[in-house]
Structure 1
Amino acid sequence: MAEVERGSWGGQLEFILTCVGYAVGLGNVWRFPYLTFQNGGGAFLIPYILMLILLGIPVFFFEICLGQFASLGPLAIWNLSPLFKGVGVAMMSVGLMVALSYCILMSYILFFFFASMGPLPWKDCANSWNTNKCITSNIFANSTLLEQIIKDRNITRAEIKTPSEEYFYNQVLKSSSGLDEPGGIVWQLALCLLLAWVIVFVVLLKGISSLGKVVYFTSTFPYIMMTVMLVRGATLPGASKGIEFYLKPDIAKLKESSVWSDAASQIFYSLSTCTGGLIAMASYNKFKNNTFRDSMIVPFINCGTSLFAGFAIFSVLGFMAKEKGVEVSDVAATGPGLVFVVYPEALSRMAGGTVFSILFFIMMLTLGFSSLFSMVESFFVMLMDEFPDTLRCNSTRPIIFRGVCIVIFYLISLPMVTKGGFYLFSLVNEFAGGFPRLITGLFELLVVTMVYGYSRFAEDISLMIGKKPGIYFQVTWCFLSPLLIVVSN
């Protein structure tokens, strides 16, 4: 039976938009702005841009060249050195863990999106899930009243919870006391998770031929929403204070090694390198596609998006700080705490909060799905390229394979939507996004440059783009990038 052809992108723009959608994700909104604020404000841009030049762009260019030349997924490509095929297996494993945890986040965002359709349920403390520790943010500005409430309720300041905090942990997650108490499945989250996986299946039904069309929307629409949120945030009282906290430079911070380590890890995290996705997406390029051009466009768009998102986030945090009568540093947060606790609280306090809440979570949905689609497709590509005779033997086999995988992924994800599931999700998310990714990146560079040979790889690249990589790429691939990966650990 004839093997179905792999296919290719409908045009160069499809590949670029897919890479932008893959790289620009939730981390650009909830991780970069906080790291900038925490690591010296505007001064953090110095190590960040240096790491982009010495680590981000070289590794990005390296991976898309590797995928484009071989026209194979991140597993089959290691036939170049079969002894190190474990690097491909590691990439596949890490990429799958990232995808599974990402889909859990999408279930949370879907939950909040649907909840935003009516009066915002996290606006006050008059709900069945609230406790006597719940105090609305407007009370914080009146210290006398706040102290009286604390005294009357026999609680401490440290025990105070906001309505959005109790909504997320008590109503959305129905969180237990720990991982040792998993509890039952939270069916509302399980349904949202099912919807998320169904959306992924529908979009990836025909592989890159369907994904390449969807990215025209998912990779561009978030910028419209981000601009709307920035304009709204900039008109709020206290916005300028938030932006000042975001970018005010503290040069002394550059003396701290953690600042440079954070810059390196953020570059790795935000460009979505070393999980096989870029190799998989590039494997569908035309052989003569200009990979150098693409490796300049995508990383700079990604970094610009991170910086832009910071203005949208911190303008609203400045408003929140003014409302509560506290410093911006007291309301700033990173990760899920920003998206599901702090920002929703701010949205509930502003005029037209329901509308802007819907817009915000639409933005988060498109950002998240644009990354998730590429993550999952990369996994499919890895296995289909490794077992083409089985998985590409006819036109229906890839669809069946994708459907079976999606069902398995959903079942594997279910423990993370139990009452103790958030703790499991946090473990998976922390593990997949950290050390393993850096290790796969290190071995990837070392194997290709030292075992396969830098000279051979440079010749391969010259066949595609007409010239060999310059001294900049030779130094970064063979020395600086591996060194920075080791040091950042």
Structure 2
Amino acid sequence: NVWRFPYLCYRNGGGAFMFPYFIMLIFCGIPLFFMELSFGQFASQGCLGVWRISPMFKGVGYGMMVVSTYIGIYYNVVICIAFYYFFSSMTPVLPWTYCNNPWNTPDCMSVLDNPNITNGSQPPALPGNVSQALNQTLKRTSPSEEYWRLYVLKLSDDIGNFGEVRLPLLGCLGVSWVVVFLCLIRGVKSSGKVVYFTATFPYVVLTILFIRGVTLEGAFTGIMYYLTPQWDKILEAKVWGDAASQIF
């Protein structure tokens, strides 16, 4: 949730998103959590066997199993992408830094390639008079975006064109599944040992990223934009839907 929750706050009104989030947490998340916790403590069984207490609701158990299966598949893809970028970063120059790669388009524009333009000391030349230049729309994409879309994913032009299987991504996905298998191969005995790492290492990484983030230029402006509430957003149904989906 570290990579999803800040995005939801940014998209749904900044600090105002916390209001529907805590409403959903208090009235939906916490009661369901304690209900599931109590059922598990009482029956000491999985999501299928616990509903023998009320066979009418056994479909809930199957639903929980299906949801857990799909979430496991989905999050392994995220781990796969993390592995891919981890291996790709082991180069002297990051491949998503500049626009001189074979997959880049003429619309690619890197801040590192054009420092003078971003500082305003080199005005861009456009054909035509001033009024035409003011109405000129420039389509620019970052090298990181083009690396993701055109090289990593190799997105096809339309949904009818399936494209090709990306073997590097397939290999990283296989690695992620192997890691999960090794962590769970002996049940609680193996996963309990892995938890010592997975429960502490993320805090180390978050601390490093936090210190790096707050020391960047313009960090305070971004934090204020992130926290400043836009109260009109809480009247939108989409905001409440995002809060509920984040809780569940």
* Cα RMSD after superposing both structures: 2.3
Q: How much does 1:183 deviate? A: 2.5
Task: Please point out which of 34, 38, 43 is paired with 1:65.
Answer: 38
Report if aligned partners of 1:150, 1:157 keep a CA contact under 8 Å in 2: no
Q: How much does 1:58 deviate? A: 1.0
CA distance in 2, matches of 1:65, 1:229: 37
What SS is found at the alignment partner of 1:236?
Answer: coil
Number of residue equivalences: 237
Q: How much does 1:167 deviate? A: 0.7
Select the structure that is richer in helix. Answer: 1
Residue in 2 aligned with 1:260?
240
Residue in 1 aligned with 2:107?
133
Q: What are the Cα deviations for residues 118-175 of structure 1, in whole angstroms up to 9, with x where unaligned?
A: 2211000111221212111354625685744899xxx9524x2210011111211122
Q: How much does 1:103 deviate? A: 1.0
Name stretches of at least 5 consecutive residues in structure 1 with no aligned partner. Answer: 1-27, 269-489
Amino acid corresponding to residue 136 of structure 1 in structure 2: S
- Map residues 70-81 of structure 1 onto 2, 5 A cutoff: 70-81=43-54
Task: Please point out which of 114, 120, 129 is paired with 2:87.
Answer: 114
What SS is found at the alignment partner of 1:120?
Answer: coil
What fraction of aligned residue pairs are identical, expressed as a percent? Answer: 48
CA distance in 1, matches of 2:185, 2:201: 22
Residue in 2 aligned with 1:240?
220
Amino acid corresponding to residue 138 of structure 2 in structure 1: R
Residue in 2 aligned with 1:211?
191
Residue in 2 aligned with 1:24?
none
Residue in 1 aligned with 2:133?
none
- Map residues 31-430 of structure 1 onto 2, 5 A cutoff: 31-118=4-91, 119-137=93-111, 139=114, 141=118, 147-148=124-125, 157-158=138-139, 160-268=140-248
Q: What are the Cα deviations for residues 232-267 of structure 1, in whole angstroms up to 9, with x where unaligned?
A: 111111100110110012233333343333222222
Give the TM-score normalised by the residue count of structure 1: 0.45
- Evaluate the alpha carbon distance shift between residue 68 and residue 145 of structure 1 in structure 2; reply closer, same or farther with a 3 A threshold: farther
Report if aligned partners of 1:130, 1:166 keep a CA contact under 8 Å in 2: yes
Name stretches of at least 5 consecutive residues in structure 2 with no aligned partner. Answer: 129-135
Q: What are the Cα deviations for residues 424-460 of structure 1, in whole angstroms up to 9, with x where unaligned?
A: xxxxxxxxxxxxxxxxxxxxxxxxxxxxxxxxxxxxx
- Evaluate the alpha carbon distance shift between residue 82 and residue 168 of structure 1 in structure 2; reply closer, same or farther with a 3 A threshold: same
CA distance in 1, matches of 2:39, 2:149: 44
Amino acid corresponding to residue 118 of structure 2 in structure 1: A
What SS is found at the alignment partner of 1:193?
Answer: helix
CA distance in 1, matches of 2:137, 2:211: 37
Q: What are the Cα deviations for residues 327-374 of structure 1, in whole angstroms up to 9, with x where unaligned?
A: xxxxxxxxxxxxxxxxxxxxxxxxxxxxxxxxxxxxxxxxxxxxxxxx
CA distance in 2, matches of 1:150, 1:126: 25
Q: How much does 1:217 deviate? A: 0.8
Give the TM-score normalised by the residue count of structure 2: 0.86
CA distance in 2, matches of 1:174, 1:121: 15
Amino acid corresponding to residue 221 of structure 2 in structure 1: K
Amino acid corresponding to residue 99 of structure 2 in structure 1: C
